[in-house]
């Protein structure tokens, strides 16, 4: 069965849905104690009609025909279309029998139970039809009910592999975002410092650093008093270093 044949099957379903909607709307006025149920039925049928219309348009499109997707009698989408027609006809017969009943109060419990059953079944069928509203969905639903779970397992495995790649990409992106944020914060800090004072602290630091050579300042870092101050946790954390202007305090620091 090609997509054209399946499209004709779907087209044949749309009037059946429309007829069922009309019967449900007529039934709504009599269902005093079940208006919520009937309202749900009408909403589900309207959604089903919309999905079937979209499916028929997709099956007739050049894009889907170019994919050469083949359906047979065991295909899930074909089986779903047939089951949908049977359930709609059954629902219409139930509503018609209730409408013609002379003892509606006695007939209602049975009709209500069948309406509930029809609602659940139509929701289930609508799910599969909505799944078929894409090229990949049609390809999946062209499989039989036996092969479809295997295909889903394969897609799930592929999805998990992609999920791992996405997680890795997310980590990389987050790392890059952190670098950008750190750079932005550093730029803001510099702008604040420049606003407080126009003195070029970085240039002054480099000017003080350039005269330094290997072991500059080691005479103080190796001094016993300095080592005692550095290593003794009980000592004050303040170190006073004084000297005349130009004696090299800045270079030493």
| Whether this model's pTM surpasses 0.85 | no
pLDDT for 193-237, tens place per residue?
777 777 666 777 777 777 777 777 777 778 888 888 888 776 667
Closest Cα to residue 240, out of 219, 222, 225? 225
What is the C-alpha separation between 153 and 131, in angstroms, rounded? Answer: 16
> CA angle, 242 as apex, 241 and 244 as ends, to 5°?
145
Q: Are 49 and 124 in contact (CB under 8 A)?
A: no
The secondary structure element, H or E, covering residue 229 is helix 224-231
What is the C-alpha separation between 112 and 225, in angstroms, rounded? Answer: 96
- Tracing tokens 């949908």 back to the chain, one arrives at 84
pLDDT for 54-108, tens place per residue?
888 888 888 777 777 777 787 888 888 888 888 888 888 887 777 766 665 656 6
Phi, psi of 75 (to 5 degrees): -60, 140
């Amino acid at each position: 069965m090609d997509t054209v044949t399946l499209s004709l099957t779907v087209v044949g379903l749309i009037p059946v849905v429309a007829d069922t909607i009309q019967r449900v709307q007529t039934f709504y006025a009599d269902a005093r104690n079940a208006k919520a149920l009937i309202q749900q039925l009408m909403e589900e049928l309207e959604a089903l009609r919309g999905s079937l219309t979209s499916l028929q348009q997709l099956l007739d499109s050049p894009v889907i025909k170019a994919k050469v997707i083949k359906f047979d009698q065991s295909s899930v989408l074909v089986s779903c279309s047939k089951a949908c027609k049977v359930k709609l006809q059954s629902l219409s017969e139930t509503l018609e029998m209730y409408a013609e009943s002379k003892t509606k109060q006695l007939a209602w419990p049975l009709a209500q139970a069948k309406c509930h059953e029809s609602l659940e079944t139509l929701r289930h069928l609508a799910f599969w039809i909505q799944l078929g509203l894409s090229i990949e969905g049609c390809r999946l639903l062209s499989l039989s009910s036996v092969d479809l779970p295997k295909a889903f397992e394969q897609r799930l495995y592929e999805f998990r592999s992609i999920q791992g790649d996405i997680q890795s990409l997310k980590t990389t992106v987050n790392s890059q975002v952190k670098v950008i944020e750190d750079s932005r914060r550093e730029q803001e800090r510099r702008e604040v410092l420049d606003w407080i004072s126009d003195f070029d602290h970085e240039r002054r630091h480099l000017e003080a650093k350039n005269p330094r050579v290997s072991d500059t300042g080691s005479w103080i870092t190796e001094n016993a008093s300095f080592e005692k101050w550095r290593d003794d946790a009980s000592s004050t954390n303040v170190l006073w270093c004084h000297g005349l202007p130009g004696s090299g305090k800045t270079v030493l620091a």
